A and B are shown apart, each in its own frame.
Chain A
Amino acid sequence: MTVVRRPLDQSVLTIPRGQTYIIPQRCKGCRFCIDFCPKDVLEESTDINSKGYHYPVVSAGKEEACIQCTFCTLVCPEFAIYTEEIEPETL
């Protein structure tokens, strides 16, 4: 028999979720947001912006993965990406 330990309040626990907003023109392609996103939400675009940089996009299949940690918002040197909290997911 497998014993799975579950928190007693699991039914009311929520994980915050975020929606990603991007300003492609501002990006200078430093990859800070991509490499340090704890959920690997982001990847480089295949397109380039007018300055020639690959800006971040949400990877396929990661649409719901952002946990609204706001790391990318703070670390982006160009003010080119931010997230907004959306309806949380209940476990």
Chain B
Amino acid sequence: MSENKEDRHVLTGRHFMNGDTACAEGAMAAGCSFFGGYPITPSTEIAERLARRLPEVGGVYIQMEDELASIASVLGASWTGARSMTATSGPGFSLMQENIGLGAFTETPCVIVNVQRGGPSTGLPTLVSQADMMQARWGSHGDYPVVAYCPASCQEMFDLTVLAFNMADRLRTPVFVMADEAIGHMTERVVIPDKSGIEHVVRKRPHAGPMDGLLPYEAEGSMVPPMPRVGRGYRIHVTGLTHDERGYPATDAATHDQLVRRLAGKLTRFAPEIIRIEEVQMEDAEVVLVAYGSTSRSARHAVTILREEGLPVGMLRLITAWPFPGDRIAQLAERGCRFVVPELNLGQMALEVERYARQPTTRVNHAGGQSLTPDQIAEVAREAMTCAREKSWSAITS
């Protein structure tokens, strides 16, 4: 029976499944053994799939009373050594923000999937949007590290969910999968490798057994302290208050500054491992479309259209949205590239591109509810190209 159970973790093979289901299968393959969630369109299929799948392998699925409870249960489960996750959409993501801060501050690895829908408020529950990108970065109060991946296909819903678990364990921090409704609800081919083809990062643990004098928040030079599990005699204390290396509350400014800087510093230190981008036809590109999630599919098509017209246009796809791959943007700006940022919000990641490019971008926006078409993007990019060549960039960005 136990053999059988293990086999059910990784559904090796070629499948035709929707993005939400692929995300759930990614969690299964990554060894997730706890899901605490609350139904919300358009992420519900993830919960539904895991409600079926987790019991097959002895994992825990629990539908909590709300999203506040969901994220709290996920953090609790993580401290037992389990890989734990939740999935939600905008309204639920808003409710989770306080405990996301607790997770980041207490260095509790977990995965939070946000299948974005039209907001603000109840917005457009069944329709696509990408307007939670800045919330993902700054939603909880205070300065804290954020890692967010943006899947652009069902395959990536699988792959990036696995990656999110690995990155959460490597950095000891909550990691977001910032999907969108179009990706969550589309159905495509998903190839699931066999077990050996799935990377598994093991959470760093204290090397010795329980001992007096373990400093649970001592980073040991790597910026990421080893994580003890509860029930093993470590007698750890974990608090959302500012804490010292013993985990005890501290009220002095120096400890606070040091702790917050160490947490934020994880992103700088591990940026090369965290950041993933895809570049399409970039070698000679003069205009770069910076896109992510479902919008990048239209952008990719727009590149094809424009290349057929002989225009040197490329695409930089953000697979990692946070930490933002600003260095690459700066390099391209140096090279003389101009940027066009299509996204399903009123200009969120565009702000980040502008910060690193030190120049205005051309934005292609829709507040959400429908996808941007390749033609819409191509038209704006074409215009941008003309302006760039005529050096009258300001005309289009104003």
Q: Answer whether A and B touch in the complex at a CB cut-off of 8 Å.
A: no
A residues with CB within 8 A of B: none
